[in-house]
Amino acid sequence: MVSKINSCVLAGLSGHTATVETDLGRGLPRFDVVGLPDASVKESRDRVYAAIKNCGFVYPVSRITVNLAPGELKKEGPIYDLPILVGILAASKQLPEVPATAAMIGELSLEGKLRAANGVLCMAMHLKSAGIEEFFVPEENAAEAAMVKGLTVYPVRDIQQLAAHLKGETLITPAAHTEYKPEVPDSLDFVDVIGQETAKRALIIAAAGGHHALLIGTPGSGKSMLAKRLPSILPDLSEQEALEVTGVYSVAGMLPKGQAMIKSRPVRAPHHSISVNGLAGGGTHPRPGEISLAHNGVLFLDELPEFHRDALETLRQPLEDGEVTISRVSATCTYPSRFMMICAMNPCRCGYYGHPTKSCTCSEHQLREYRKRISGPLLDRIDIHVTVAPLPYEELEKRPKGETSAVIREKINRARKIQAQRYKDHGITTNAQLTPTLMEKFCTPDQKGQALLKAAYERLGLSARGYDKLLKLARTIADLEGSAEIQAQHIAEAVQYRILDREEIM
Ligand SMILES: Nc1ncnc2c1ncn2[C@@H]1O[C@H](COP(=O)(O)OP(=O)(O)OP(=O)(O)O)[C@@H](O)[C@H]1O
Ligand SMILES: [Mg+2]
Ligand SMILES: [Zn+2]
């Protein structure tokens, strides 16, 4: 008699339905697990054996064969303990058959209690789309799985409780699905930043249009201070985006305890000593790297030239594709990595190149070497570059009050809505993602704007690569203002954020 129970395999963030088939046959008692299990799955045998005995069931004296199908997918980790145990009890008639519309996962303790697992949200999303109606998960993971609408999620504490449910004696109450609402993160406020209007505005435009930005400034000018306040102005995270972000954190085992869903945009600020694997993801048991943990949020690279060059090089493909593929011996997996990249750097090694009062002690050669550390292709993908000049004493003394993050955030949310609406049939959500074809359709400036664009191109010596970026930026500036047309003043402002096109600085 073969019992079949649905379960799930994850490869990266994508789920695949797995079936745990259990056969009790004649022959010498033994217990085999087949179907590409790794060592941790094989250990299930010992946990399942102990849990069956310790929960008052009878361990069948038979030749037990468990097949994890399909055989070509590698099964990892202890999450098949539960379907294996229930399969044995069903095959030996100690429990009723589990319906074909149900699935289960969970690691067991020797006493038959369930332990939390990683990646449960991604599994729930897959199972729902595969037509599964009921999902039995460890109690701790229930709220996370219940974020998926239309899936009945049963929180399972231990085997006795599940047995009573399957026998129809005492039913488990399904976890409640809560409606999604984005949250504003608890973060420092922009109102603390005195002056620095250009840099602030650049970050607002970056957040509004999803643009990558580079802040160049002397030490102490407030680059890190500005970046720390970025979370407070990022636009709301939509439900779809939140599911993606939560999926990444769930798979990485980084969901904060007691938090089922991540509801605001993540901001990751890895140290410049970070390795290629740390940034892009990888390792023997592949994990999402910083670029995936920043998915739908911000990757802040402070002191950009100090990062290892090979680490920066790995950013190129993800910046292009919005995802990263990690290859290892046994399989490859793909993680999403669509993030806004905000970088900060000093203008030179000593930090004072271009400072109004202090003088730079770098040689011509040192200056060039310092800037060469950031590769052209990376720079090529950055839409906004601004200098952050040291704050004049008068401004610091006067302490003029700027806008609060709440006010700025509203404007940004409005600009994002305009973009989402405009691009709803074109598969993108922000101006930063505009393709050349779409730019032709949506980014033609009005007449004065076109004249200014021509002048800027010819007289300011804008490069061709800068031209598209300038237009995208102007589109965002117009959207922030609620203007359907790209006008001359939008172009004029956008030119300010392309300093590296104009100066022989890089
Ligand atoms: N515009 C500002 N308004 C208020 N305080 C400021 C401003 N700029 C700098 N400061 C103060 O100076 C401190 C140092 O600024 P910050 O660390 O942001 O500089 P930085 O540009 O990142 O410098 P570095 O290049 O050395 O990393 C801040 O913590 C803050 O107290
Ligand atoms: Mg700093
Ligand atoms: Zn210098």
- Note the pLDDT tens digit of each residue in 272-322: 999 999 999 987 778 899 999 999 999 999 999 999 989 998 998 899 889
Which tokens sit at 411? 């404007």
- For the cut 80, the answer to whether the pLDDT of residue 504 exceeds it is no
Mean pLDDT of the residues in the chain: 91
In a domain, 30, yes or no: yes
Q: Which residue has the tokens 């056969």?
A: 23
Say whether pLDDT at 460 is over 80: no
Report how far residue 128's alpha carbon sits from residue 122's, in angstroms, rounded to the nearest whole number.
10
CA 307 – ligand 2 centroid, Å: 14
The model's pTM is 0.86
Closest Cα to atom 9 of ligand 1: 222
How many Å lie between the centroid of ligand 3 and the Cα of residue 500? Answer: 17
- Pocket of ligand 1, candidates 201, 215, 225: which has the most ligand atoms within 8 Å of its Cβ, to mutate? 225
Q: Kindly state whether residue 142 falls inside one of the protein's structural domains.
A: yes
60: pLDDT strictly greater than 80? yes
Asked whether residue 265 falls in the same domain as residue 209, the answer is yes
Q: Is 183 within the bounds of a domain? A: no
User: For residue 225, how far is its CA from the centre of ligand 1 (angstroms)?
Assistant: 5
Closest CA to 231 of 275, 183, 194: 183
Domain end among 364, 394, 422: 422
Comparing 227-236, 278-287, 473-482, the range with the smallest average pLDDT is: 278-287
For residue 391, the ligand 1 atom closest to its alpha carbon is: 1
- What is the pLDDT at residue 368? 86
**Better-scored residue on pLDDT, 506 or 476:** 476
At 276 the pLDDT is: 92
38-61 average pLDDT score: 92
| Domain annotation covers residue 105 | yes
Q: Where are the alpha helices (DSSP H) in 120-229?
A: 120-129, 142-145, 159-166, 197-209, 223-228
Q: Give φ, ψ of 258 to 5 degrees.
A: 80, 5
308 and 160, same structural domain? no
With a Cβ cut-off of 6 Å, ligand 1 is lined by 193-196, 217, 219-225, 346, 391
Specify whether 415 is located in the same domain as 467: no
Nearest ligand by distance to the CA of 350: 3
Average pLDDT of 411-434? Answer: 95
Name the percent of the chain lying above pLDDT 70.
97
CATH code where residue 32 lies: 3.30.230.10
157 phi, psi to nearest 5 deg: -90, -50
Co-location of 398 and 446 in the same domain = no
Claim to verify: residue 202 and residue 339 sit in the same structural domain: yes
With b meaning 16 or more CB within 10 Å and e meaning fewer, what string describes 366-377? ebeebbeebeee
Let me know if 231 is exposed, middle or buried by CB neighbors in 10 A (0-12, 13-18, 19+): buried
Residues 6 or more apart whose Cβ sits within 8 Å of residue 433: 210, 423
Nearest CA to ligand 1 atom 25: 219
Task: Please check whether residues 64 and 154 belong to one and the same domain.
Answer: yes
Shared domain for 355 and 220, answered yes or no, is yes
- 368 lies in the same domain as 268: yes
Atom of ligand 1 minimally distant from the CA of 303: 27
CA of 364 to the centre of ligand 1 (A): 27
Same structural domain, 72 and 100: yes
| pLDDT higher than threshold 70 for residue 95 | yes
- Minimum CA distance residue for ligand 1 atom 26: 219
Please state, in angstroms and as integers, the Cα–Cα distance from residue 426 to each residue in 420, 422, 430, 437, 442, following that order: 10, 8, 11, 11, 11
Taking the centre of ligand 3 as the mean of its atom positions, its distance from the CA of residue 349, in whole angstroms, is 5
Q: At 305, which CATH number?
A: 3.40.50.300
| Ligand 1 closest atom vs CA 351 | 25
Residue located nearest, by CA, to atom 13 of ligand 1: 220
Does residue 181 lie within any of the structural domains?
Answer: no
Given the CA of residue 193, which atom of ligand 1 is nearest to it? 3
The per-residue pLDDT for 502 is 60
pLDDT value of residue 506? 41
- Average pLDDT in the 92-107 region? 96
23 vs 194: which has the higher pLDDT: 23
| Same-domain status, 403 and 356 | yes
Which ligand is in closest contact with the Cα of 365?
3
**E strand or H helix at 83, and its extent?**
helix 81-91
Q: Tell me, what's the pLDDT at 500? A: 75
Contact 38/9 with Cβ under 8 angstroms? no
Residue nearest to atom 11 of ligand 1 (CA): 222
Q: Ligand 1: which residue has its CA nearest to atom 27?
A: 219
Q: How far is the CA of 348 from the centre of ligand 2 (A)?
A: 14
Label residue 503 by pLDDT band (50, 70, 90): low
Q: In total, how many domains does the chain have?
A: 3
Do 96 and 204 lie in one domain? The reply is: no
Q: What is the pLDDT of residue 330?
A: 64
What's the CATH number where 444 sits? 1.10.8
Asked, for residue 337, whether it belongs to a domain, the answer is: yes
User: Do 418 and 294 reside in the same domain of the chain?
Assistant: yes
Higher pLDDT pick, 305 / 379: 305
Domain that holds residue 503: 434-506
Is position 427 within any domain?
A: no
